[in-house]
């Protein structure tokens, strides 16, 4: 389908509107004018015949008609479009005034004492098919002679006037349309200038120049809404790009540390010959660094996959108590080494992806274990709530300052970088928890009181479980 520009469409619309308005107005004015002219002419005909009948009735005999022909002609106002004939009732003419020489056929006349009205007007055709209207009436002279008076008018001049009027209206219509084309094109182009400015701004946007914004100053209301929406979108894109950029920088930084460690330790070891035990220790620490790198890579890959729209959850019904016990068993070794107890109180079933559920809870537990002092207990609680299921992991410990709480779920975010930058910390654990909860349509919330307790709560929304 052919695409017309907005200017062309709007201009076309204005031209059609102008044409319709001009045509309707022109037609109505034409109708009113022609009706007025014809009714005026008909009234004049009736008035003339009435006047002439009164005048003729005062004459003595037919001879007086010729004597008073000037006054007779004055009775029809001497208009050359008019004709007058006074005849005997047998049709013989006594007096005739007909400068335009159009036919005056004898016709039924209004009887002497009957009032003449426009309904008595007859019409017929003259030369060149012109329209002629006339009326006849009987008058009685003083000597008792009845005569018929006929007054007629050719409407040729009226037809010419109206045809001129039609031509002028058509010209006005054409000029109006031309003016509408020009004016609307200029005005529409001017009105659309802010749109072009927005298109120019949009064309200038690249991944490196996401700080560009749509101009808002001259934008009319409708475009203002669009520009604001586009600017919001650009802001979100810019934030997204910034996050990706920051993520790349953090990732590079986090991979550089273990690789630097690896290289440094190996260089030092190679500087001189060493005992087998030293080489063994070196290889052991190399493996630890490699583990850290592969953990980071695995976490990053998981986060990337979890963000892809195609990620398919394999939800199953999970008995929270059973599953949590299993996870706690898995942590048994670490917790007993740390002298920390894990207490589970769970009465709920969760409809979730089993692997992801384990992963989320494990991440929270491993954090809690890291910050819980020996002899203390970590409480894991799962309950059915109005919202769905809430599962919290709470541990006594140093707590987290309120300023950090919001940022904990950002990738690579660690409260104390120097302290937690050990081989066990990648700073991705909580962002993975957040991704998992988002995949389940739920959320994760952090609460902490300094030097008291820290609690992370997973909120699984209520979902209808398929049969």
Ligand X SMILES: Nc1ncnc2c1ncn2[C@@H]1O[C@H](COP(=O)(O)OP(=O)(O)OP(=O)(O)O)[C@@H](O)[C@H]1O
Give the interface with ligand X as residue ranges (CB under 6 A): 363, 367-368, 371, 395, 397, 400, 408, 413-416, 420, 424-430, 454
Closer by beta carbon to ligand X, 143 or else 406: 406
Closer by beta carbon to ligand X, 147 or else 459: 459
Smallest separation, CB 456 to ligand X (Å): 7
Partner that binds at residue 371, options Mg ion, ligand X, none, CB closer than 5 to 8 Å by kind: ligand X
Closer by beta carbon to ligand X, 130 or else 257: 257
Partner that binds at residue 454, options Mg ion, ligand X, none, CB closer than 5 to 8 Å by kind: ligand X
Smallest separation, CB 462 to Mg ion (Å): 28
Closer by beta carbon to Mg ion, 26 or else 427: 427
Partner that binds at residue 175, options ligand X, Mg ion, none, CB closer than 5 to 8 Å by kind: none
Partner that binds at residue 109, options Mg ion, ligand X, none, CB closer than 5 to 8 Å by kind: none
Smallest separation, CB 367 to Mg ion (Å): 4
Closer by beta carbon to ligand X, 103 or else 375: 375
Smallest separation, CB 429 to Mg ion (Å): 3
Of residues 328, 360, 449, 446, the one with CA closest to residue 396: 449
Closer by beta carbon to ligand X, 242 or else 416: 416
Smallest separation, CB 362 to ligand X (Å): 10
Smallest separation, CB 408 to Mg ion (Å): 10
Cα 19 to Cα 174: distance, rounded to the nearest angstrom: 8
At residue 1's C-alpha, the angle toward residues 19 and 225, to 5°, is: 75
Smallest separation, CB 372 to ligand X (Å): 8
Smallest separation, CB 220 to Mg ion (Å): 52
Closer by beta carbon to ligand X, 198 or else 408: 408
Partner that binds at residue 426, options Mg ion, ligand X, none, CB closer than 5 to 8 Å by kind: ligand X
Smallest separation, CB 273 to ligand X (Å): 37
Closer by beta carbon to Mg ion, 72 or else 251: 251
Q: Which residue is nearest to ligand X (CB)?
A: 429
Closer by beta carbon to Mg ion, 226 or else 303: 303
Partner that binds at residue 188, options Mg ion, ligand X, none, CB closer than 5 to 8 Å by kind: none
Smallest separation, CB 303 to ligand X (Å): 11
The length of the chain, given as a count of residues: 467
What's the gap between Cα 354 and its chain centre? 44
Of residues 53, 30, 49, 55, the one with CA closest to residue 121: 49
Partner that binds at residue 397, options Mg ion, ligand X, none, CB closer than 5 to 8 Å by kind: ligand X
Which residue ranges make up the site for Mg ion (CB under 5 A)?
Answer: 367, 429
Cα 449 to Cα 395: distance, rounded to the nearest angstrom: 11
In the 3-class helix/strand/coil scheme, how is the chain assigned residue by residue?
Answer: CCCCCHHHHHHHHHHHHHHHHHHHHHHHHHHHHHHHHHHHHHHHHHHHHHHHHHHHCCCCCHHHHHHCHHHHHHHCCCCCCEEEEEEECCCCEEEEECCCCCCCCCCCCECCCCCCCHHHCEEEECHHHCEEEEEEEEEECCCCCEEEEEEEEECHHHHHHHHHHHHHHHHHHHHHHHHHHHHHHHHHHHHCHHHHHHHHHHHCCCHHHCCCCCCCCCCCHHHHHHHHHHHHHHHHHHHHHHHHHHHHHHHHHHHHHHHHHHHHHHHHHHCCCCCHHHHHHHHHHHHHHHHHHHHHHHHHHHHHHHHCCCCCCCEEEEEHHHHHHHHHHHHHHHHHHHCCEEEEEEECEEEEEHHHHHHHHHHHHHHHHHHCCCCCEEEEEEEECCCEEEEEEEEECCCCCHHHHHHHHCCCCCCCHHHHCCCCCCCCHHHHHHHHHHHCCCEEEEEECCCCEEEEEEEEECCCCCC
Partner that binds at residue 176, options Mg ion, ligand X, none, CB closer than 5 to 8 Å by kind: none
Cα 459 to Cα 457: distance, rounded to the nearest angstrom: 6
Partner that binds at residue 427, options Mg ion, ligand X, none, CB closer than 5 to 8 Å by kind: ligand X
Partner that binds at residue 48, options ligand X, Mg ion, none, CB closer than 5 to 8 Å by kind: none
Of residues 92, 90, 97, 62, the one with CA closest to residue 76: 97
Closer by beta carbon to ligand X, 123 or else 294: 294
Residue bearing tokens 């659309």: 192
Residue bearing tokens 């319709």: 20
Smallest separation, CB 326 to Mg ion (Å): 20
Closer by beta carbon to ligand X, 177 or else 259: 259
Partner that binds at residue 337, options ligand X, Mg ion, none, CB closer than 5 to 8 Å by kind: none
């Amino acid at each position: 389908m052919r695409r017309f520009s907005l200017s062309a469409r709007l201009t076309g619309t204005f031209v059609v509107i102008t044409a319709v308005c001009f045509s309707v107005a022109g037609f109505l004015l034409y109708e009113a004018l022609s009706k007025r002219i014809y009714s005026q002419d008909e009234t004049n005909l009736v008035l003339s015949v009435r006047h002439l009948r009164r005048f003729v009735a005062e004459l003595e005999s037919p001879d007086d008609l010729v004597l008073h022909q000037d006054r007779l002609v004055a009775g029809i106002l001497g208009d050359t479009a008019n004709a007058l004939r006074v005849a005997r009732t047998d049709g013989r003419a006594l007096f005739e005034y007909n400068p335009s020489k159009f036919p005056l056929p004898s016709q039924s006349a209004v009887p002497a004492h009957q009032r003449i009205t426009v309904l008595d007007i007859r019409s017929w055709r003259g030369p060149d098919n012109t329209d002629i209207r006339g009326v006849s009436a009987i008058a009685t002279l003083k000597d008792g002679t009845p005569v018929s008076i006929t007054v007629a008018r050719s409407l040729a001049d009226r037809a010419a006037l109206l045809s001129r009027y039609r031509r002028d209206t058509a010209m006005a219509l054409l000029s109006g349309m031309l003016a509408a084309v020009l004016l609307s094109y200029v005005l529409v182009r001017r009105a659309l200038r802010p749109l072009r400015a927005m298109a120019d701004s949009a064309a200038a946007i690249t991944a490196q120049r996401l700080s560009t914004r749509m101009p808002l100053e001259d934008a009319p209301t409708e475009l203002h809404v669009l520009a604001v929406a586009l600017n919001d979108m650009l802001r979100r894109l810019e934030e997204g790009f910034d996050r990706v950029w920051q993520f790349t920088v953090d990732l590079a930084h986090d991979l550089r540390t273990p690789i630097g460690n690896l290289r440094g330790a190996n260089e030092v070891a190679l500087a001189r010959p060493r005992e087998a035990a030293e080489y063994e220790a070196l290889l052991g620490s190399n493996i630890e660094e490699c583990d850290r790198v592969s953990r980071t890579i695995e976490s990053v890959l998981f986060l990337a996959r979890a963000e892809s729209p195609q990620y398919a959850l394999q939800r199953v019904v999970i008995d929270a108590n059973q599953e949590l016990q299993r996870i706690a068993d898995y942590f048994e070794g670490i917790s007993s080494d740390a002298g920390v107890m894990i207490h589970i109180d769970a009465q709920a079933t969760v409809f979730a992806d089993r692997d992801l559920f384990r992963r989320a809870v494990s991440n929270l537990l491993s954090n809690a274990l890291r910050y819980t002092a020996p002899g203390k207990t970590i409480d894991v609680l799962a309950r059915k709530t109005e919202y769905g299921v809430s599962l919290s992991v709470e541990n006594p410990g140093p707590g987290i300052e309120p300023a950090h709480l919001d940022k904990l779920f950002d990738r690579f975010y660690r409260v104390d970088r120097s302290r937690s930058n050990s081989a066990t910390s990648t700073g991705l654990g909580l962002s993975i928890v957040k991704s998992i909860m988002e995949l389940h349509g739920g959320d994760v919330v952090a609460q902490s009181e300094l030097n008291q307790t820290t609690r992370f709560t997973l909120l699984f929304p209520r979902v209808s479980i398929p049969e």
